[in-house]
A and B are shown apart, each in its own frame.
Chain A
Amino acid sequence: MKNKIVENIGFIIITLCLLATLFFLALIIYFIFAKGISVISWEFLTCAPRKAMTAGGVAPAIAGTIFLTLGAVIFALPLGMSCAIYLNEYNPSGFIVNAVRIGVNNLAGVPSVVFGLFGLAVFVKFLGFGVSVLSGSLTLGILILPAIISASQEALTAVPQSVREASLALGATKLQTIVKTVIPSALPGIMTGVILSIGRAAGETAPILFTAAAFYKRGYPDSPFSEVMALPYHIYALMTEGTRPELQTPIAYGCALLLLAIVLLISSAAIILRNKYGRYYVS
Chain B
Amino acid sequence: MRNYKEKIIQILLTSLAFASLFFLIGIVFILVKESIPIISEINFLEFLFGKEWYPSRQPPQLGIFPLITASLLVTAGALSICIPLGVGAALYINELAGIKQKKILKPLIEILAGIPSIVYGFFGMLIAAPFIQKIFNIPTGLCALTASVMLGIMAIPTVTSISEDALSSVPKSFKEASYALGANRIQTLFKVIIPAAASGISTSIILGASRIVGETMTVLMVSGGAAVVAKSFFVPVRPMTSTIAAEMGEAAVGSPHYHALFAIGLILFLITLIFNAGAEHISKKYRIKLGLGR
Provided the pairs A111-B216, A111-B268, A121-B30 are in contact, do residues A25 and B16 lie with their beta carbons within 8 angstroms? no
In the complex, chain B residues whose CB is within 8 Å of the CB of A229? none
Find A267's partner among B114, B156, B187 (CB 8 Å cutoff).
B114
Provided the pairs A17-B84, A82-B12, A267-B110 are in contact, do residues A256 and B119 lie with their beta carbons within 8 angstroms? yes
Contact B122 A203 (CB under 8 A): no
Query: Which chain B residues (228-252) contact chain A, with CB distance < 8 Å?
Result: 241, 244-245, 248-249
* B39 contacts chain A at the CB level, 8 A cutoff: no
Contact A109 B272 (CB under 8 A): yes
Contact A113 B214 (CB under 8 A): yes
* B121 contacts chain A at the CB level, 8 A cutoff: yes
In the complex, chain A residues whose CB is within 8 Å of the CB of B115? 25, 28-29, 203, 260, 263-264
Provided the pairs A203-B117, A239-B221 are in contact, do residues A7 and B92 lie with their beta carbons within 8 angstroms? no
Find A14's partner among B21, B95, B248, B249 (CB 8 Å cutoff).
B95
B-side interface size class: 35 or more
In the complex, chain B residues whose CB is within 8 Å of the CB of A80? 19
* A271 contacts chain B at the CB level, 8 A cutoff: yes
Contact B269 A14 (CB under 8 A): no
* B42 contacts chain A at the CB level, 8 A cutoff: no
User: How many of A's residues come within 8 Å of B, CB to CB?
Assistant: 88
Q: How far is the CB of A277 from the nearest CB of chain B, in Å? A: 14
- From DSSP, what is the main secondary structure of chain B's interface residues? helix
In the complex, chain B residues whose CB is within 8 Å of the CB of A235? 118-119, 122
In the complex, chain B residues whose CB is within 8 Å of the CB of A204? 116
Find B121's partner among A102, A103, A236 (CB 8 Å cutoff).
A236
Residues of A within 8 A of B (CB): 3-4, 6-7, 10-11, 13-18, 20-21, 24-25, 28-29, 31-32, 79-80, 82-83, 85-87, 90, 92, 96, 99-100, 102-118, 120-122, 125, 142, 145-146, 149, 173-175, 196, 199-200, 202-206, 209-210, 232, 235-236, 239-240, 249, 252, 256, 259-260, 263-264, 266-268, 271-272, 275
A-B contact pairs, 24 of them (CB 8 A): A7-B186, A11-B96, A14-B96, A18-B105, A21-B86, A25-B115, A104-B20, A107-B20, A112-B216, A113-B245, A113-B265, A114-B269, A117-B265, A145-B20, A146-B20, A149-B20, A202-B116, A206-B117, A206-B216, A236-B217, A239-B122, A239-B221, A259-B116, A260-B116
In the complex, chain B residues whose CB is within 8 Å of the CB of A206? 117, 216-217, 241, 245
In the complex, chain A residues whose CB is within 8 Å of the CB of B6? 173-175
| Inter-chain pairs besides A236-B221, A239-B125, 7 sampled, C-beta below 8 Å | A25-B115, A83-B19, A92-B17, A116-B248, A120-B248, A235-B118, A236-B121
CA distance A24 to B127 in the complex (A): 12
Contact A18 B9 (CB under 8 A): no
Contact B253 A125 (CB under 8 A): yes
CA distance A200 to B95 in the complex (A): 30
What is the total of A-B residue contacts with beta carbons within 8 Å? 260
CA distance A102 to B16 in the complex (A): 15
In the complex, chain A residues whose CB is within 8 Å of the CB of B135? none
Complex A-B, nearest 8 residue pairs according to Cβ-Cβ distance, in ascending order = A17-B88, A111-B214, A203-B116, A103-B21, A103-B20, A82-B16, A206-B216, A86-B13
* B46 contacts chain A at the CB level, 8 A cutoff: no
Which of A17, A87, A105 has the most chain B CB atoms closer than 10 A to its own CB?
A17
Find B275's partner among A3, A109, A259 (CB 8 Å cutoff).
A109
CA distance A18 to B112 in the complex (A): 13
Contact A110 B27 (CB under 8 A): yes
Contact B186 A86 (CB under 8 A): no
CA distance A137 to B10 in the complex (A): 27
In the complex, chain A residues whose CB is within 8 Å of the CB of B157? 21, 25
Residues of B within 8 A of A (CB): 2, 5-6, 9-10, 12-14, 16-24, 26-27, 30-31, 34, 84-89, 91-93, 95-96, 105, 107, 109-112, 114-123, 125-127, 153, 156-157, 160, 184-187, 189-190, 207, 210, 213-217, 220-221, 241, 244-245, 248-249, 253, 261-262, 265, 268-269, 272-273, 275-277, 280
CA distance A201 to B26 in the complex (A): 21
Q: How far is the CB of A27 from the nearest CB of chain B, in Å? A: 8
Contact B111 A210 (CB under 8 A): no
| Closest Cβ neighbor of B244 among chain A residues | A113
Contact A114 B268 (CB under 8 A): yes
CA distance A104 to B276 in the complex (A): 11
| Closest Cβ neighbor of B269 among chain A residues | A114
Contact A117 B31 (CB under 8 A): yes
CA distance A259 to B115 in the complex (A): 9
CA distance A111 to B5 in the complex (A): 40
Provided the pairs A99-B21, A117-B31, A205-B216 are in contact, do residues A18 and B14 lie with their beta carbons within 8 angstroms? no
Q: How far is the CB of A58 from the nearest CB of chain B, in Å? A: 14
| Closest Cβ neighbor of A145 among chain B residues | B20
In the complex, chain A residues whose CB is within 8 Å of the CB of B91? 14, 17
